[in-house]
Amino acid sequence: MFEFDQYLGFLAFLGILTLGFWLMIFLITFIVPYWIGGSLIERLNEIKEEKKAKRDTATRV
């Protein structure tokens, strides 16, 4: 069967695989949507400020 060092290597492999799996789940479900949502809100605010700046310069002329 397995010798002790092979057993430890196999357990290390399973641990790393499991950590990677849960990290990917966390990134896909929380971090990426937060990142995309924040960038969309920031871009919409920039567009809103650009329109406001254009409107303010148009009324001053």
For tokens 């009324």, the residue is 59
pTM of the model: 0.66
**CA 11: distance to chain centroid?**
29
Using 70 as the pLDDT threshold, list the residues of the chain that sit under it: 61
The pLDDT, as a whole number, for residue 61 is 62
Q: How many angstroms separate the CA atoms of 15 and 21, rounded?
A: 10
**pLDDT number for residue 59:** 84
